[in-house]
């Protein structure tokens, strides 16, 4: 079966996830992280993608970014993937694939999901048990978004800018969101949308995407809606 094209709308952000093959580790030394970080930055500039949050984990990477062109994310991921595999294989005397197939991604409504997904991305090291707080992890955008630390990968989104009138206010408001445990239902929704490549947004946002791309944005209900009158009538039930 042919794979469906991705949901892509220039100017609309996406959460992108790329895992190592069989979830194996892909980053070992500090030099590995720096190489991958640099290639992501180069690709973002070359292919007109604005990165709002990122996290480089030992066996996968997350990006929250907005493409300015339809093919921007695809070209960015292809560029980064190709150069990192060449670098990694050359340095480790190996050949073959490194990535677990295609990258996974979800188109998302920035009004409702930009900040939650940004915090989700930067909270990965804590949920994985690598560190106690996001501030303790060096390879994410947390320092840029929560403290204003320089990071050439990060471009503030309009939704981030609306967190406060000045940089310090925005940073404090953003960091405050990490003070309470994340909502598990929201985490599950982000994971499911990303892994299954469905759109992350409310009914109005999904309807807009469906109209523009002429595609469903969520899976069909299995077995019909058993509570609806139409379903009961079709099934011969009162």
> All domains of the chain, ordered by start, with CATH?
14-201 (3.30.70.1290)
pLDDT at 218: 75
The rounded distance, in Å, linking the Cα atoms of 120 and 182 is 8
Cβ within 8 Å of residue 199, ≥6 positions away = 7, 106, 107, 108, 193, 205, 206, 209, 217, 218
Ranking 55-59, 165-169, 226-230 by mean pLDDT, the lowest is 226-230
Instruction: Using CA atoms of 24, 28, 31, 35 in order, give the dihedral in degrees to the nearest 10.
Output: 10
pLDDT at 217: 82
pLDDT at 179: 92
Contacts of the segment 124-128: beta carbons below 8 A, 24+ positions apart: 124/55, 124/57, 124/62, 125/55, 125/57, 128/57
The mean of the pLDDT values for the chain is 91
pLDDT at 73: 97
Task: Work out whether the CA dihedral 63, 64, 66, 70 comes out positive or negative.
Answer: positive
- 3-class SS of residue 23: helix
The rounded distance, in Å, linking the Cα atoms of 26 and 89 is 10
pLDDT at 3: 61
Averaged pLDDT, 3-14:
87
pLDDT at 214: 87
Per-residue pLDDT at 232 exceeds 60: no
Neighbours of 20 (CB within 10 A): 19
pLDDT at 230: 43
Per-residue pLDDT at 226 exceeds 70: no
Per-residue pLDDT at 221 exceeds 80: no
* Termini Cα distance of the chain: 39
Structure tokens at 129: 């048990």
């Amino acid at each position: 079966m042919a794979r469906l094209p991705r949901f892509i709308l220039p100017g609309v952000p996406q959460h992108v996830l790329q895992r190592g093959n069989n979830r194996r580790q892909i980053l070992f030394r500090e030099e590995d992280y720096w190489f991958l970080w640099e290639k992501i930055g180069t690709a973002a500039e070359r292919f007109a993608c604005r990165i709002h949050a990122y996290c480089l984990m030992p066996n996968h990477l997350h990006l929250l970014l907005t493409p300015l062109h339809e093919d921007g994310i695809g070209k960015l991921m292809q560029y980064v993937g190709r150069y990192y595999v060449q670098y990694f294989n050359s340095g480790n005397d190996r050949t073959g694939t490194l990535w677990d197939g295609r990258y996974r991604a979800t188109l998302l409504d920035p009004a409702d999901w930009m900040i939650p997904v940004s915090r989700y991305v930067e909270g990965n090291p804590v949920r994985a048990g690598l560190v106690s707080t996001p501030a303790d992890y060096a390879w994410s955008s947390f320092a840029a978004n929560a403290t204003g630390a320089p990071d050439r990968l990060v471009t503030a989104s309009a939704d981030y800018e609306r967190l406060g009138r000045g940089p310090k206010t925005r940073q404090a408001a953003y960091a405050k969101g990490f003070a309470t445990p994340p909502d598990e239902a929201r985490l599950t929704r982000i994971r499911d949308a990303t892994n299954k490549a469905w759109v992350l947004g409310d009914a109005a946002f999904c309807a807009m995407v469906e109209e523009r791309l002429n595609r469903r944005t969520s899976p069909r209900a299995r077995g019909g809606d058993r509570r609806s009158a139409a379903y009961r009538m079709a099934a011969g039930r009162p």
